[in-house]
């Protein structure tokens, strides 16, 4: 009896597994294929080429997406991810390019081109019946949902990150109109996100704000009176904030970056002798490190010629036979030139005055030797 129940249970499990497999195959067969099989998280380069418009180039960095053209700033990650969704968009219908009138589909030439790493997509017009967009790639023309065209025709400013400060920029010192800012206010600026980003107008007026990071990089802004409009000077961008941040001052804040070295004034501009340092050069000489021998050019000519050593005798002196017959120079080892050479032996032996003592008898073996004297 138990064997029948066990057999029925195994058969029931097999039937359920078979039904689930059939349902999965039917579901996959009903789903339309996607435009590509690429993964958005593996993309490294995006290019948008439009006729008569500036080229937009986006590249992935370790900190996130950055815009390389036409501006070199951080990119809006949300905008980029929305565009990358085109990789897995469903394809409703496909047909070969040779069988299609590409001119009527706005694909010859295409309205714009989208490059995703090595994949190139030509974007054309729209199907009047199904309102689908024509996209050509790899010799085929596909019909996809028209959900990405507004991202492809967006101006480059829409791909700029709305964050006020670049990624990784942590200000450690700042000034507003020359007055140092408090560290709390600087830290809060790293979290500020703008409501929108615009091109900076040329007639923008405001208070200058300078920020410095630990790596020596700096940013300059023009901030409006209500502190809601921040014009970034190096990128010609205007960040419009919903609410202006607080910028408290700290008169005791110290700039951690060293001051730049002040060079000595040029003699042509001061009109003084270049060999005599002026007052500014004397006061700022401590800022200039002394030149080292390693920094000098070893192949440079000498500033002054060094005179050779004078010979001990005239070069034209003739040596005669009398000079050769002269006695050689006398060498004495005693400090006194005229004193006789000291005996290497001590005094006579007691009880045997007629015998010479052995060599070194009666002398200190650890006493230093007298310096030799050269007598000419």
Residue 12 pLDDT: 77
Q: Tell me, what's the pLDDT at 215?
A: 86
Residue 164 has pLDDT above 50, yes or no: yes
pLDDT confidence of residue 112: 93
Round to whole Å and give the CA distance between 143 and 92.
6
Question: Averaged over 228-244, what is the pLDDT?
Answer: 92
Helices (H), the chain: 2-30, 77-84, 149-152, 183-189, 267-270, 279-283, 321-325
Amino acid 138: pLDDT: 87
What is the rounded average pLDDT of the residues 46-56? Answer: 92
pLDDT tens digits along 16-27: 888 777 776 655
Residue 360 has phi, psi (to 5 degrees) of 85, 5
State the pLDDT confidence band at 6, using cuts at 50, 70 and 90.
confident
215 Rama sector, left if φ>0, alpha if ψ -120 to 50, beta otherwise: alpha
Query: Can you give the pLDDT at residue 47?
Result: 96
Mean pLDDT of 294-315: 52
Task: Give the burial string for 153-190 (b: 16+ CB within 10 Å, else e).
Answer: eeebbebbbbbbbbeebebbbbbbeeebbbeebbeebb
pLDDT for 350:
63
pLDDT at 221: 94
Q: What is the pLDDT of residue 303?
A: 52
Overall pTM surpassing 0.75 (yes/no) = no
Q: Looking at the predicted structure, is the pLDDT value of residue 120 above 80?
A: yes
The answer, yes or no, to whether residue 163 has pLDDT greater than 50, is yes
Higher pLDDT, 203 or 273: 203
Candidates 211, 89, 98; CA nearest to 151 is 89
Q: How do the domains of the chain map onto residue ranges?
A: 40-156, 171-240
**In this model, does residue 336 exceed pLDDT 50?**
no
Predicted confidence band at 298 (pLDDT cuts at 50, 70, 90)?
A: low
Give the pLDDT score at 76.
95
* Model pLDDT, residue 276: 44
The torsion defined by the Cα of 336, 340, 345 and 350, in degrees rounded to 10, comes to -110
* pLDDT computed for residue 100 by the predictor: 84
Question: Residue 302: pLDDT band by 50, 70, 90 thresholds?
Answer: low
Q: To 5 degrees, how large is the angle CA 264–CA 269–CA 270?
A: 70
Looking at per-residue pLDDT, the higher value among 301 and 369 belongs to 369
Which segments of the chain are extended strands (E)? 45-50, 56-61, 64-69, 73-74, 91-96, 112-116, 119-126, 132-137, 140-145, 171-176, 179-180, 196-199, 207-213, 218-223, 229-232, 237-240, 331-332, 373-374
Pairing label, strands 64-69, 171-176 = unpaired
* Res 319: pLDDT: 52
Handedness of CA 337, 341, 342, 344 (dihedral sign): positive
Q: With cut-offs at 50, 70 and 90, classify the pLDDT of residue 322.
A: low
Has residue 356 got a pLDDT over 80?
no
Q: By the 8 A CB rule, do 373 and 334 touch?
A: yes
**Average of pLDDT values for 157-185?**
92
pLDDT (tens digit per residue) in 261-294:
555 555 444 444 544 444 444 444 444 454 444 4
Question: If you search the block for the tokens 């299609």, which residue do you land on?
Answer: 100
pLDDT of residue 3: 72
At residue 363 the predicted structure's pLDDT band, cuts being 50, 70 and 90, is low
- Whole-number pLDDT of residue 367: 67
């Amino acid at each position: 009896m138990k064997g029948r129940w066990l057999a029925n249970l195994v058969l029931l499990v097999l039937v359920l597994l078979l039904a689930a497999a059939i349902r999965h195959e039917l579901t996959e067969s009903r789903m339309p294929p996607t435009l590509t099989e690429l993964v958005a998280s593996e993309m490294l380069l995006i290019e948008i080429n439009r006729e008569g418009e500036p080229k937009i180039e986006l590249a992935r960095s370790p900190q996130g997406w950055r815009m390389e053209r036409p501006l070199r700033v951080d990119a809006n990650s949300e905008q980029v991810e929305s565009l990358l969704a085109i990789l897995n968009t469903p394809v409703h219908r496909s047909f070969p390019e040779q069988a299609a009138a590409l001119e009527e589909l706005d694909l010859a030439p295409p309205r714009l081109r989208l490059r995703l790493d090595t994949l190139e997509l030509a974007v054309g017009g729209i199907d009047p019946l199904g309102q689908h967009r024509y996209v050509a790639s790899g010799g085929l023309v596909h019909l996809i949902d028209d959900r990405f065209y507004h991202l492809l025709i967006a101006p480059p400013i829409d791909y700029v990150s709305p964050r006020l400060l670049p990624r990784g920029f942590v200000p450690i010192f700042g000034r507003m109109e020359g007055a140092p800012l408090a560290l709390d206010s600087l830290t809060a600026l790293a979290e500020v996100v703008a409501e929108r980003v615009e091109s900076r107008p040329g007639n923008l007026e405001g208070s200058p704000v300078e920020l410095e990071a630990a790596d020596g990089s700096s940013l300059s802004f023009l901030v409006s009176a209500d502190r809601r409009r921040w014009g970034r000077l190096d990128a010609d961008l205007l960040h419009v904030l919903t609410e202006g941040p607080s910028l408290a001052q700290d008169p005791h804040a110290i700039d951690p970056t060293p001051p730049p070295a002040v060079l000595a004034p040029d003699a042509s501009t001061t009109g003084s002798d270049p060999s005599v340092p002026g007052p500014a050069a004397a006061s700022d000489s401590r800022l200039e490190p002394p030149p080292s021998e390693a920094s000098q050019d070893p192949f440079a000519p000498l500033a002054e010629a060094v005179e050779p050593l004078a010979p001990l005798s005239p070069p034209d002196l003739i040596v005669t036979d009398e000079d050769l017959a002269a006695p050689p120079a006398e060498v004495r080892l005693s400090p006194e030139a005229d004193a006789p050479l000291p005996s290497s032996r001590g005094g006579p032996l007691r009880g045997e005055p007629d015998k010479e003592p052995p060599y070194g008898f009666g002398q200190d073996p650890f006493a230093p030797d007298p310096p030799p004297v050269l007598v000419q």
